[in-house]
Each structure stands twice: as structure tokens, then as C-alpha cells.
Amino acid sequence: MSNQVLAGLKDVGHKVFGGYAELLRIPHTARFSVGSVIACMPFPMVGMTITIAVQHYYGNYSLAGALSAVQAIALAAASPILGKLVDKFGQRQVSIPTIIVWMIAATALITSIQSHAPEWVLFCITPFMAAIPPWGAMSRQRWTNQLKGDTEKTNRALSLCGVFDECMWVIGNPLASTLAVISGLLAFSFTGMCVIVGALMFLTELSTEPKSQTQLAREAGLTRKQYREREAARAEALQAETAVEYARDKARSEGKSEAEIKAAMAKAEADVLAGKKESIWGPGLIAVCVTWFGLGAFQSAAGISIVSFATEANMKQYTGFVFACFSFSSLLGALFYGAKNWAIPLWKRFYFCLIIVNLGIGSFLFAKHLWVIMIIYLLIGVCQAPTWVNGNQLMLHLVPPTRFTEGMAWMGAMNSIGGSMGSAIAGQFIDRMGSHGGFLVVTVLALASLLIAFIGFKQIKDSTEQPMLTQINE
């Protein structure tokens, strides 16, 4: 009996982890994947450290929320610019000077907080904390470049990225809360060390680095502008071809005449060709970015509200572990989600996961104990990473391969802008009404976010019927 159980567990383990192991056995992929996760430590730790350190030294949640908002807005503004620069000039060329700026800013910020500097000094330094290379987007670009043409492995690789991201949050959140309670300097020092180690692992792996637009244009004997125009024309041609085939098949299934079929095909082609050739912005990308704005708003508000709730209950030291439970559950969700080849349409999976996450976090308003919030996080977390994986897969349908970093950066930027608004609004309500006021904001934002997502339903659904633009041959 025990042998059967072991054999069953081995079979399940192979089905869940076998595909991921196959990916990581591809030469050089493990190094850049792990390196990007280590270098991403500022994401979970900086916001948590700023919130706890500012609240400790200044006793003001509004200030903590405002600083988090400034950092998020700066990140939102910087991410697309950095993403575009990476696509144009290369990952190493952009990342190295960006890291130097971040290290200087981190040192200045924590020194100012601990010396109780005037608030305006903190507001001047905080925007430079947004000088973070888009590690996640760059890692995903390397995967899509390595696996171009293999949709199944590409989707699994994006899930693997989600798994690694959640590992970062599982480790980063409890570390941030623990280290920040001891010393903000200690928390930022650890983060800085992670940035250096991760960057060295990622940027010294040269064999998987995608060619920049500058390199590709030079090889083709073109300027960057000419290359982008050619690339956009190829993407447009692929979209037009798919739209024509879809219109033809649909018209035939409806029993229309040959003349009507030809008219439907001509109209489908004309609709695609009517768009702008160089812009990556279309209805689908706008809908996804607006949805990510709402997602960032209520999740950020939930974060600062939980810190307030835990502080009121004299349990502030446990806040990182509560967030880690959400990340751990999300990690499990990413593992199992990426292990299966889903027959369910992408848009259905996207909305199902989004509904679970939004309604679950919106229910925090009714929680009476920190451990209740932790249990809710554990239950709904399995849909968190799949939501992001689905968003990443949508991006593969919406932007061409050499602008993928830029597209992903815009998605993250909108999430950061939403997060800045959420934390700032929640901070104001917490100072006036306590954690209950913060959770009231969370519930309203969660419901509003879901409404926003369904307003863009048609655009998101239609985008999944477009071809993956990463399938275009260079």
C-alpha cells in the first residue's frame, strides 16, 4: 500500500514539476531565472520597510502611505521608460547605471528616515527608489526569445516566472517586516546585497540576452525607426491573416454565400489595417492595463490596512508572515496552474481568477482577527499568480516580441499607479478611522476594480483570439 502511495506521489510530482525541470535543464536558463528573482528583492521589501520605518520614526500612516504612493508613481513613470530603453539599447546597457542610482537613493533614504529628517527631504529622495531595472519583464523576454514558436513551453515558462516571483514575495515580506522592526538600515542593506548578487547572476549570462532593437537594426542595415516600421508591418500582416481566416470560417459556419464570405474577409482585413502601424496601444492592451490599475489600487490599500490592523492588535511583527501566506498560496497556484495545458479559453481563466482575488480581499472588511485575514489569503492566493500569468499571456497576443519588455513595463506601471492611489487613500482613512477605514477603502476599490475589468470584457476576450505576436519570424 505504501509503495502505491509513493508511486502515486512520484507520478503527481513528475506531472507538476517535470515540465518545469525540463525548462530549467535548458542551458543557462536557471541562472538568469534565479538571478532575476534575487535582484527583484526591492519590490517586496522596499514598500514594507518604508511603511514600517516611517510609522516607527514619524508615527504617521498618511506620510507612510504618501511616500509609498510617490515611490509607486515614480516606478510607474520609470518602468515604461526603462523597458523601452532596454528594448532599444540592451539589458546590460540600461540595468547597470540604473542599479547605481538605486543604491545611492536607498542609502540616502534610510539615513534620512533614521535621522528624522524633514518630510520634504523624504519626498525628494523617494522617487529615485524607482530606479529598478524591469527584471521580471527582462526575464520573461529571455524565455519568450528562447522558446519562440513553442506555445506550450512558453506558457509554462511564464508560470515558472510566476512561481519564482512568489518565492521572492514569500521570502521578502516576512524578512522585510522582521528586519525593519529591528532596523530600517539592516533591511535596506540586505536588499542592496540581493540586488548586487542577483544582477551579477542575470547580467553576466550573455548567451540568453535578447538582441536589442539597435543590434537587430544594425544587422539588417536599417535605422531603428525603419526596423520598428518593418516589425510593425509584419505584426499587422499576421493579425490581418488571422482575422481574415477567422471571418472566413465564421461566415462559412453561418452558411453564407461566397460573395458574403469574401465581403466578410475583406472587412476583417480592412479593420486590422486601419490601425496605426507603430503603436502597441490597442483596445486589448488598454483594457489589460486599466484592469491592472484597479488590481494594484485595492491590493496596495489592503497592504497598509493590514499593517494598521496588526499594529492595533499589537501583532505588527507578524504582518510579513501574513503577506507571506498569500505569496506561498500564490506560489502553489502558479506551480499547478503552469503544470496543466488548459483547454479552457484564456479569457475565462483570467476572469475566474480575478473574481476570486477581488472578492476575497474585499471581504477583509469583515475580519475580526489577523489570523482570519491570513486564512483568507491562503484560500484566495492560489488564484493570485495565475491572474498575473494570464495577464502575461494576454500580453503575448498584444505586443510584438522586440517591444515585449515595454509592453510588460506598461502593465506593471499601471499596477504601480493604482497602488499609489490605493495606499495614499487608505492612509488618509486609517489616520481618521483606524484600520476599519482602510478596509472600507479596500472593499470599495476591489468592487470598482472588478467593474472596470468587466467594462473591458469585449476587448480582453477579443485579444485572446489574436495570434501570439512572438510567433513572428525575424
pTM of the predicted structure, to 2 decimals:
0.63
Which pLDDT score, from 0 to 100, does residue 411 have? 77
Asked if residue 246 has pLDDT above 80, the reply is no
Q: What are the residues whose beta carbons fall under 8 Å from the beta carbon of 263, sequence distance 6 or more?
A: none
Determine the residue type at 207. S
Pick the range with the lowest mean pLDDT from 47-51, 190-194, 424-428.
47-51
Q: In which residue are the cell numbers 509607486 written?
A: 72
Phi, psi of 358 (to 5 degrees): -65, -50
Dihedral (CA of 146, 347, 388, 448) sign: positive
Classify each residue of 337-368 as buried b or exposed e, where b means 16 or more C-beta atoms within 10 Å of its C-beta.
bbbeeeeeebbebbbebbebbbebbbbbbebe
Q: pLDDT tens digits, residue range 5-23?
A: 555 555 555 565 666 777 7
Confidence of residue 429 (pLDDT cuts 50, 70, 90): confident
CB 157 within 8 A of CB 23: yes
Which pLDDT band holds residue 276 (cuts at 50, 70, 90)?
very low
Which of 89, 110, 90, 2 shows the shortest CA–CA distance to 46?
110
When the pLDDT of each residue in the chain is averaged and rounded to a whole number, the result is 76
| Per-residue pLDDT at 178 | 67
- Place 119 in a pLDDT band, splitting at 50, 70 and 90: confident
Q: How many Å apart are CA 438 and CA 425, to the nearest integer?
A: 8
Least confident of 6-20, 157-171, 345-359: 6-20
Better-scored residue on pLDDT, 429 or 277: 429
Q: Look at residue 472 and tell me whether its pLDDT is greater than 70.
A: no
**Model confidence band, residue 468 (pLDDT cutoffs 50, 70, 90):** low
CB of 321 closer than 8 Å to CB of 156: no
Residue 16 confidence (pLDDT): 59
Rounded distance, CA 282 to CA 456, Å? 12
Q: Whose CA is closest to 294, among 451, 97, 103, 111? A: 451
Is residue 372 scored above 70 in pLDDT? yes
Spatial separation of the C-alpha atoms in residues 111 and 117, rounded to whole Å: 9
Give the residue with greater pLDDT, 219 vs 128. Answer: 128
Q: Residue 278 pLDDT > 60, yes or no? A: no
Please determine, for residue 111, whether its predicted confidence score (pLDDT) is greater than 50.
yes
- Residue 3: pLDDT band (50, 70, 90) is low
pLDDT of residue 374: 84
Question: What is the mean pLDDT of the segment spanning 336-351?
Answer: 78
Q: Residue 106 and residue 112: Cα distance in Å, rounded?
A: 10
pLDDT band at 379 (very low <50, low <70, confident <90, very high): confident
* Positive or negative: CA dihedral 360, 361, 365, 370: positive
Alpha-carbon distance of 418 to 402, in angstroms, equals 27
Per-residue model confidence as pLDDT tens digits over 448-457: 888 888 887 7
| pLDDT value for 358 | 86
**Cβ-contact 43, 172 below 8 angstroms:** yes
> Per CATH, is 2-204+278-471 categorized as 1.20.1250.20?
yes
